[in-house]
Amino acid sequence: MPEKILNNEFIAFMSKIIIPALITTAVSIAIDVKNNITRVSWLTILMSIIIGFGGAYLCGDMIMERCKGGEIPLAVSAVTMLTEKTFKFVIHKFEFDKFIARMFNLFLGTELKDEK
């Protein structure tokens, strides 16, 4: 019986938290690629996914407790977009993306294309 409850909670979490976060993050990345406002690289895409899903995951329980059934995906999408755009601004403002790319290249022993 506990396996059935755990399975139902997992399905509810996937349908109400993960899927809206995935859609919102994909739309945000597509808008960035189309507008070409910021430099879009694999590192930027990976950071957007991690930050977007992280914000949705951290706020998911609170959203599920305080919102009604139909409002949950909308609230999750708003939180995902808010955290992703806020952290993207901070990352580009303080150039953390270049720092992280340099650290990866230092550990991998490769050279950045932008630094040539």
Answer yes or no: is 85 within a domain.
Answer: yes
Q: At what angle do helices 72-93 and 96-108 cross, to 10 degrees?
A: 80
Question: How is residue 94 written in tokens?
Answer: 């303080």
State the residue range of the domain holding 37.
2-108
- What whole-number distance in Å separates Cα of residue 107 and Cα of residue 71? 44
Instruction: For residue 27, tell me if it sits in a domain.
Output: yes
Look at residue 55 in the predicted model and tell me its pLDDT.
Answer: 92
Contact partners, residue 113, CB within 8 Å, separation at least 6: none
- Does 70 reside within a domain? yes
How many structural domains compose the chain? 1
DSSP state of 84: H
Instruction: Give pTM, 2 decimals.
Output: 0.75
Look at residue 116 in the predicted model and tell me its pLDDT: 44
Low-confidence ranges of the chain (pLDDT < 50): 115-116
Residue 83 covered by a domain:
yes
113 lies in some domain: no
Is 103 a member of any domain? yes
